[in-house]
Structure 1
Amino acid sequence: DDLEKAAVDDRIEAVVIRPDLLQVGFGKLEEMVAMIRKFRRSGKKIYAYLGADMSFTRDYYVASACDSVFMPAEANLFLTGVRSEVTFYKDFFNKVGVKAQFLHIGKYKNAPDSYTRDRMSPYQKEVLNAIVNQYYKDIVQTISENRCLSPKQIDRFINQKTGFSGSEAKALGLIDGNLFYAQLKKKLAKKSHSLHPLSALDYAREPASALHIRNKRRIAVINCVGTIYGGSESENPMLGKMLGAKTIIANIQKAAKSRLVKAIILRIDSPGGASLPSAALWQAIIEAKKKKPVIASVSDLGASGGYYMAMAADTIVATPNSLVGSIGIFAGKFVFNGTYDKLGMNVDAVQKGRHAGIFSVTKPWDKEEKKIIQNIIQEFYHEFVSKVARARHKTYEEVDQLAQGHVWTGLQAFHNGLVDTIGTFYTAINLAKRMAGIPQSESVRLVNYPRKKSFMNELLSSVGVVINHRRHQWVADALNQVKTILVQWQNKPLALLPFRLEFK
């Protein structure tokens, strides 16, 4: 919104962005580049300043889209390419006495592999290689176009040079000047005697309506971010941001009922999560689109349970580098009897009922219990694939071939029919206007759900400290915390992305 406001605000002559150590996925990076390019079409200048000691590929990817790029001569730029790492815990679990027992549907649905294997499966490597190759190609092509350098030059910079001082970056045409930030401000001030710097924080308080934009008909933007579970929005120390189905469903219903809201955009950035909340979200979206258009806009992730949500919408928009699909399911549990043995703890039990201990964390599943769980997840997988087939106008067999837990990039998903449109969030806005009968020239008001928590609330909701001076008690308490977290997700069918990506 800030760049959109600045583009039409006569008081704003230029914008400086500082992309320092960006920690977002390549879907969002593409959208940032698209926003910068859109701003430049206003005729105003936008400059990038790389002011950190070290700037990296993602920072420069965004900075390269600006009119000019500056950094101190003494700073460093690293163009390293793309690397994906997956951490495996099998050997660690063996050492602490934890046994991971998981079942899955789909040969690519290998989320449990992090717990049951010590390295990637061939299927996981196949998918990750395809993703990394596409991202690398996009990095080279985007920087090449933005900086008017050949793809071969960019490829050579990445693979033969990799690290650049600010002076080297300028000499090679990667940046336009060596300046400290104070010097950049003086340089810009010389171009306009009436220049008064304004921080992004202060400008964010400027209402869009004051500029006669975003002040007419309304479109709801429901932010669907994090791992799906059945409660309210929260933070989890292992899984990060949690997408509370209860919160999102309430927001969907509120937006659907509002006479002022003409369309709904689901802004999805989710790897999936628990299966039943995912299905509940699907049902809420199905009901909402009976009343008004619903558009799914996938940023970084719309995978597994995240795709379960997206497929319920009238149409799906994703960037080429979004990660979507992962149509599959798994279920499992962690058994802690080995841990108890190491700590000198004993568990005894009595039961009535052949499978009364199926959810116990001190005994593994036997063959009959495995069959019970397998039947449950097989039924969910069949329902998942059937719903995708109906939503995407394909046969069950066609979707099953695309499913199997396979993660696709947005571009791949577009070509195989799992996504309708390649584009950004602004593409979704334009589609929402068209489907709601709003002229494309009209600047609609975006109503965001839910309201964001303050930084302090976010911090306090995710921090917990346990202090104990007795070593064995500290170990027991710490393991009990881990157990509590793991037990929340075991014995439940999960529609979750089969890996967590960390791009170096």
Structure 2
Amino acid sequence: MKDFFKMFFAALLALAVASFGLFLFFLLMVGLIGSMSQPVPQVANGSVLVFDMSASVQDRPVGMTRDAFIDEVVGGAGSRSLSLLSLKRGLEEAANDDRIEALLLTGSFAVDGYSSGFAALKEVRESIEVFKASGKPVYAYVVYPSARDMYVISAADEIFMNPEGVVGDSGMSMSYPYLGGFMDRYGIGVQVTRAGEYKAAAETFVLEGMSDPAREANSAVLADFWQEYLGVIASGAEFDPATYETKLNELGMLAADDAAEIGLVDELLYTDELIAKMQGISGLESESNSFVQTAIDDYLLEVVHPMYSSDGMVAVIYAEGSIVDGEGKDGQIGGNSLARVIRKARQDKKVKAMVLRVNSPGGSALASEVIQREVRLAKEQMPVVVSMGSVAASGGYWISAYSDKIFAQPNTLTGSIGVIGVFFNYEELANKHGVNFDTVKTTEHADLMGQFRAKTEKEMGLVQRHVDIVYDSFLHKVSEGRELPLEEVRKIAGGRIWSGVDALEIGLVDELGGLADAIAFAGEQAGLGSLPAIVELPEAGNFLEDLFAVTSQKAADASTDVALRPIVRLYREIGEISSLYNDPKGVYAVLPYTISID
């Protein structure tokens, strides 16, 4: 009877949570309908276009996420996302818009997953330079600018800084989490194999620090990125990069006075003083007692629209996130789902060329091959061009190798042509919670891919054989796709990462350039010109899926026994890690976890 009441009340609680979710959904729909009736903001004549950089700049199109939807309804100011192509088009459109007098850059970029990488921000900076070339002034106002912010605002004619501000750039570092100690402490078994001396992804799970080969490769890439960064920010101001580096070593971070002293910023101003300056350009806006301005978000709504041409289009297909087997989740590249997108695009008679935008550290070798197969089939029908974002390595390079041409930025991280095998087992963790596993089987290795016991030395040898087979296949594919001698590929492979600059020199990429350059090239190859109409795929996500998923999860949590919740939570967190490692053979072409370069 006690168990009956427990289950009864748990069911009631789950029903209540679900009902509340539906009620909330109803209220949100009412709010959204009301917000849809509002007209698109008009751009005032003589405006200063204000680009609030407090957003994540992502490659793929931006949809109405759950958080953005709620913010829209309740009038909040939550996180924002801007798509790279829309932002570029808006900034360049403003250069020739008579209603826009100047551009003001404010705020600080947000990073979410693979968004706001330096390679993407390089393209944003280039669009600001296009605006600047029109003769209209570009200003920037910062308080606590990060390295990403400095990289972009260095294109401004004048940079103003709050007198109490601090430059949040203390140099670049590359950090990896090493989980060896964590796995040991919590009884999570990990067994790894690899092909490639520099293939460091396996080290993430078994070591407690960086290996010497990994340190060598990481240091070389970081040095290239740092020199490119220094050159870019110095080009927009009259200061010596060596002096800047010396100051960082001396002070760690620069105070506003320090930044002004070396010419990194032009003038120290409080907000009211900035407003007065902007009023001198656009005049007084009487209602707000500020200056006449148009927010970049409002401007994009008015001037950026879907493109169509009866002559045909270039399909821009986004591969952003870790590559996983199957359909994948938000922030992942599902091998099956992306292959399906590419297949539909190549079968669409309106699509005359394809640009694959890759911003991925790789992942499942099988999923990478599924995607690559569709890329090769597309290439038989139309020009296929790859544009590499901030990271296009390992599996990200696998899916790029057979394209007609590869564009990368100097600060793109690519290469990592190597393979690992990663196998988790939860035997010790389960035993700690009183769970034991027993097995009957028909053959010696029937449970080889199970996660309930460690693999034997013989079994790890069998796994290594598969890793070597996949690595050999990877090398041959790069050799064939890039038309490089196999021995040359072996020399530059081994899992080593390369900067875009070095990748160009050794033949892994064809040209330095961004997404717009790749689209222009694809358009010309297809006979559509350098400014072709485009269709972006996959289409932007729908917030409804997120909303229903969260409601269902809340109901499931409510019906879970309170005593079991800590265990469920732990297994769920482990599952999040495991979901990235779902290759059926346990073989991966992937970078170590998520690389963060700041």
**TM-score between the two structures when normalised by the length of structure 2:** 0.77
Cα-Cα RMSD: 2.7
Equivalent in the alignment of 2:301: 205
Query: Would the aligned equivalents of 1:268 and 1:302 in 2 still touch at CA under 8 Å?
Result: yes
Q: Distance in 2 between matches of 1:5 and 1:182?
A: 29
Equivalent in the alignment of 1:221: 316
Equivalent in the alignment of 1:420: 510
Task: State yes or no: 1:476 paired with 2:567.
Answer: yes
Q: Which amino acid aligns with 1:498?
A: P
Equivalent in the alignment of 2:334: 244
Q: Distance in 2 between matches of 1:259 and 1:39?
A: 35
Q: Name whichever of 141-150 and 266-275 sits farther off.
A: 141-150
Q: Name whichever of 355-364 and 344-353 sits farther off.
A: 344-353
How far apart are 1:129 and its partner, in Å?
0.6
Q: Name whichever of 380-389 and 489-498 sits farther off.
A: 489-498
Given the superposition, is the C-alpha separation of residues 459 and 314 from structure 1 closer, same or farther in structure 2, using an over 3 Å criterion? farther
Task: State yes or no: 1:120 paired with 2:216.
Answer: no
SS state at 1:297 partner: strand
Q: Distance in 2 between matches of 1:216 and 1:69?
A: 44
- Describe the superposition over 1:180-199 as per-residue Cα deviations: whole angstroms up to 9, x where unpaired: 44543432222234973111
How far apart are 1:90 and its partner, in Å?
1.0
How far apart are 1:278 and its partner, in Å?
0.7
Equivalent in the alignment of 2:94: 6
Task: State yes or no: 1:300 paired with 2:384.
Answer: no
Given the superposition, is the C-alpha separation of residues 321 and 115 from structure 1 closer, same or farther in structure 2, using an over 3 Å criterion? same
Q: Distance in 1 between matches of 2:351 and 2:549?
A: 31
Query: Would the aligned equivalents of 1:467 and 1:474 in 2 still touch at CA under 8 Å?
Result: no
Q: Distance in 1 between matches of 2:542 and 2:260?
A: 40
Q: What is the aligned counterpart of 1:83 among 173, 177, 185?
A: 173
Equivalent in the alignment of 2:154: 64
Q: Distance in 2 between matches of 1:477 and 1:221?
A: 40
Q: What is the aligned counterpart of 1:444 among 532, 540, 546?
A: 532
Given the superposition, is the C-alpha separation of residues 257 and 46 from structure 1 closer, same or farther in structure 2, using an over 3 Å criterion? farther
SS state at 1:206 partner: helix
Alignment of 1:74-223 (within 5 A): 74-181=164-271, 183-193=273-283, 196-208=292-304, 218-223=313-318
Q: Distance in 2 between matches of 1:469 and 1:290?
A: 53
Given the superposition, is the C-alpha separation of residues 157 and 452 from structure 1 closer, same or farther in structure 2, using an over 3 Å criterion? farther
Query: Would the aligned equivalents of 1:266 and 1:295 in 2 still touch at CA under 8 Å?
Result: yes
- Describe the superposition over 1:426-461 as per-residue Cα deviations: whole angstroms up to 9, x where unpaired: 221221122122344xx3222211222256866876
Given the superposition, is the C-alpha separation of residues 459 and 226 from structure 1 closer, same or farther in structure 2, using an over 3 Å criterion? farther
Task: State yes or no: 1:329 paired with 2:424.
Answer: no
Q: Which amino acid aligns with 1:122?
A: D
Equivalent in the alignment of 1:345: 435
Equivalent in the alignment of 1:16: 104
Query: Would the aligned equivalents of 1:275 and 1:494 in 2 still touch at CA under 8 Å?
Result: yes
Given the superposition, is the C-alpha separation of residues 111 and 317 from structure 1 closer, same or farther in structure 2, using an over 3 Å criterion? same
Q: What is the aligned counterpart of 2:586 among 492, 497, 500?
A: 492
Q: Which amino acid aligns with 2:478?
A: V
Q: Distance in 2 between matches of 1:459 and 1:182?
A: 41
Task: State yes or no: 1:50 paired with 2:122.
Answer: no
Which runs of no fewer than 5 residues in structure 2 stay unpaired? 1-88, 285-290
Which runs of no fewer than 5 residues in structure 1 stay unpaired? 236-240
How far apart are 1:390 and its partner, in Å?
0.8
Q: Which amino acid aligns with 1:265?
A: V
How far apart are 1:297 and its partner, in Å?
0.2
How far apart are 1:115 and its partner, in Å?
0.9
Q: Distance in 2 between matches of 1:179 and 1:348?
A: 71
Given the superposition, is the C-alpha separation of residues 318 and 6 from structure 1 closer, same or farther in structure 2, using an over 3 Å criterion? same
Q: What is the aligned counterpart of 1:41 among 114, 119, 133?
A: 133
Q: Distance in 2 between matches of 1:171 and 1:214?
A: 52
Q: Distance in 2 between matches of 1:436 and 1:393?
A: 22
Q: Distance in 2 between matches of 1:467 and 1:327?
A: 45
Q: Distance in 2 between matches of 1:250 and 1:286?
A: 14
How far apart are 1:233 and its partner, in Å?
5.0
- Describe the superposition over 1:42-87 as per-residue Cα deviations: whole angstroms up to 9, x where unpaired: 2222222214xx3222211211121221222122213301112211
Q: Distance in 1 between matches of 2:382 and 2:560?
A: 59
**TM-score between the two structures when normalised by the length of structure 1:** 0.90
Q: Distance in 1 between matches of 2:546 and 2:127?
A: 27
Q: Which amino acid aligns with 2:142?
A: L
How far apart are 1:220 and its partner, in Å?
1.6
- Describe the superposition over 1:7-27 as per-residue Cα deviations: whole angstroms up to 9, x where unpaired: 222222212222504433322
- Describe the superposition over 1:86-106 as per-residue Cα deviations: whole angstroms up to 9, x where unpaired: 111111111111121011111
Identity, % of aligned positions: 28
- Describe the superposition over 1:118-146 as per-residue Cα deviations: whole angstroms up to 9, x where unpaired: 11111110111112211221222222211
Equivalent in the alignment of 2:86: none
Query: Would the aligned equivalents of 1:208 and 1:214 in 2 still touch at CA under 8 Å?
Result: no
SS state at 2:475 partner: helix
How many residues get paired? 494
Q: Distance in 2 between matches of 1:129 and 1:74?
A: 34
How far apart are 1:41 and its partner, in Å?
1.8
Q: Which amino acid aligns with 1:201?
A: D
Q: Distance in 2 between matches of 1:192 and 1:484?
A: 54
Query: Would the aligned equivalents of 2:520 and 2:532 in 1 still touch at CA under 8 Å?
Result: no
Q: Which amino acid aligns with 1:276?
A: L
Equivalent in the alignment of 1:238: none
Q: Which amino acid aligns with 2:589?
A: A
Given the superposition, is the C-alpha separation of residues 503 and 461 from structure 1 closer, same or farther in structure 2, using an over 3 Å criterion? farther
Task: State yes or no: 1:392 paired with 2:486.
Answer: no
Given the superposition, is the C-alpha separation of residues 79 and 451 from structure 1 closer, same or farther in structure 2, using an over 3 Å criterion? same
- Describe the superposition over 1:353-385 as per-residue Cα deviations: whole angstroms up to 9, x where unpaired: 111221222221113311221222211111111
Query: Would the aligned equivalents of 2:322 and 2:333 in 1 still touch at CA under 8 Å?
Result: yes
SS state at 2:315 partner: strand
Query: Would the aligned equivalents of 2:228 and 2:410 in 1 still touch at CA under 8 Å?
Result: no
SS state at 1:43 partner: coil
Equivalent in the alignment of 2:17: none
Q: Which amino acid aligns with 1:348?
A: D
How far apart are 1:335 and its partner, in Å?
1.7
Q: Distance in 2 between matches of 1:263 and 1:103?
A: 39
Query: Would the aligned equivalents of 1:76 and 1:165 in 2 still touch at CA under 8 Å?
Result: yes
